[in-house]
Each structure stands twice: as structure tokens, then as C-alpha cells.
Structure 1
Amino acid sequence: MKFWNAFRIFWIIFFLFFAIGLPLILHYGGHHKGDYEMTHTSPITAAILLGMGTAFWLIVFISYSKKFLINPSFKKNGIIALNLAGLLLLIALAAGILVYTYINESRGYGWRYLYFWHPYIIIPCSFICYSGLFYGITRRIFSKY
């Protein structure tokens, strides 16, 4: 049993690094929009990207709540305080990224600093893709048993 717990923890940390850490490293490694790019980004494009990111984050929040807060198998032995803390950390991550980048990257242009590979948009997309990938692979492997 200890092997499977360690195996599960390893994959959780692995996916969290590639879902959260890598997009943040790539973004803050130097890819910011310049003034020229922001002046030529339409407000409609910025609003659509903001809406897409918010919709993706809502999908992540709803699926997390559905899997870990509503599921009766996770409600025993105090696993609920920890799952709720995970949900609160996800909400804080989404809000923190949005507020921090707005303060530091907007330079008076509003939401025009957003682009499709921005961490506010790509982090929930990677959560959705990785959870679908992980669910599909484990479902195929364990459906035989």
C-alpha cells in the first residue's frame, strides 16, 4: 500500500509542476507583451480571452468540487478540511494570477496583456487536459481488472 501512495503522490506532484509551475516559469522567463502588441490588441479579443480563462477556471472548480467535495468516498476521516483547502488554494491561485498580472503587466492598457498562452488561460486548460488524460489512461488500464 505504501508503494501506491508514493506512486500517487509522485504523479500528483509531477502533474502539478507541468500544470502550474511550467507555464509560470515560461511566462515570467521573459515573454510579456510589449506596448506595440498591446495597442494593437482589440478590447474584444482581450475580453474573449478573459472570458475563456474564467470559463476554464470555473470548469476546474466545478470538476474539483464534484470529484473531491461531493463524492461520498472522500467525506470520511477528515479528508473533507484537506479537499476544501485544496479548492480554496485553487481559487486563490486563479485570483492571485489575475490580480498580480493585471497590476504588473497591464501598464494602463486594461486586459490587453492577455494572450492565449498566458498562465491565467493555460493553467486551467492544462488541468482539464491532464485530468482527462489521466482519467482515460487509468480507466483503460484498470477496466481490465
Structure 2
Amino acid sequence: MNFWKGFNIFWIIFLLFFAIGLPLILHYGGGLHKSDFEMIHTSASEAFVLLGLGTAFWFIVFIYYFKKFLINPTLKKNGIIRLFGLLLLIALAAGLLVYSYKNESHGYGWRYLYFWHPYVIIPGSFIFYSSFLFGNINGVFSIFLGKSEKPY
């Protein structure tokens, strides 16, 4: 295995832990659920805005993944894999929303959502890592390695 390939795999696993694992551990393991008092005092419009924001973030992640790994002709030969990855992302989003609604809503609807809820923060982390970190770091490394990925 090439050193840079192993380096990339390490960072992908590392960032996936911080994008998916850590928000789930903090929320479900740390007991960061909203209490009934907090849900009563949360407006329905705030809950629907957060639901829409989380859904929009998930659609951005799905579209990015679809464009990057399923339409890109250089990566198309592995289309059956990163497709499996898309199905896992869709299952994660739907499963997280259904599980949270069933176990956290307590009859108050979507009012259990808050900005740091995993349904909102996981796709937000994906967007942050893919656009800011991978875009900037990839550009910096390409300067030092002599492989320019984007025109300057």
C-alpha cells in the first residue's frame, strides 16, 4: 500500500469518527436530550426550521456524494461501492430521524430538535469537512507535491 493512500484512509476514518461517531456518542451517551419543559417552550416554527435545515444539509451531502463518486468518470469503476455508501448515508439519515422521533419526541412532535442534534450536525460536519478542510488542505498539499488539482 502506498503511503499517501494509507494517509488518506487514516484521515477519512478519523474525520468520519468526528462527523458521525462523536455527535452520536455525545447525544445518546451523554444524555443531551431535551426535557419536557424545554420542548414545551420550543416553538413549532423553530422545530420546523431545524427539521428543514437538517433535511437541506442531508440533501447537500447526498448530492455531493452522488456527483463526486457516482458521476465522476474516473471513480465510476467503483460505482457499486462509495452506491453502497450512498445507501448507507440515506439509511443513516432516515434511521436517525425515525429513531429520534420515536424515542425523544414524547408526543411534542419535532420540538425535540435543536441545532446540535445529530440529525442537523452530522451533515453539517460532512459539509464543513468536505468543503473547507478537504478543499483547502488538498490545494496546499498539491502545491508541495506538484499535483495541481484546481487551477490557480
- Which of the five TM-score ranges fits, normalised by the shorter chain? over 0.9
1:53 lines up with 2:60 in the alignment: no
Q: Which residue of 1 aligns with 2:90?
A: 91
Deviation of the 1:83 alpha carbon: 1.9
Amino acid at match of 2:141: I
Identity of aligned residues (%): 69
Could you tell me which runs of 5 or more consecutive residues in structure 2 were left unpaired when the two chains were aligned.
147-152
TM-score, L = length of structure 1: 0.95
TM-score, length basis structure 2? 0.91
Paired residue secondary structure (1:72): coil
Asked whether 1:17 is paired with 2:12, we answer no
1:124 match = 123
In 2: Cα distance, 1:111 partner to 1:4 partner: 44
Q: Deviations over 1:110-138 (max 9, x none)?
A: 00000000000000000000111112111
What's the CA shift for 1:5?
1.9
Residues 74-132 of structure 1 show CA distances to partners (whole Å, capped at 9, x for unaligned) of 112xx111020000000000001000000000000000000000000000000000111
Measured in 1, the distance between the counterparts of 2:37 and 2:135 equals 42
1:102 is matched with 101
Q: Give the letter for the 2:20 counterpart.
A: I
**Structure 1 position 141, deviation (Å):** 2.2
Q: Distance in 2 between matches of 1:140 and 1:64?
A: 23
| Alignment match, 2:140 | 140
In the alignment, residue 20 of structure 1 is paired with which amino acid? I
Higher helix proportion (structure 1 or 2): 1
How far has the Cα of 1:143 moved from its partner? Answer: 3.5
Give 4+ residue runs of structure 1 displaced > 3 Å after superposition. Answer: none
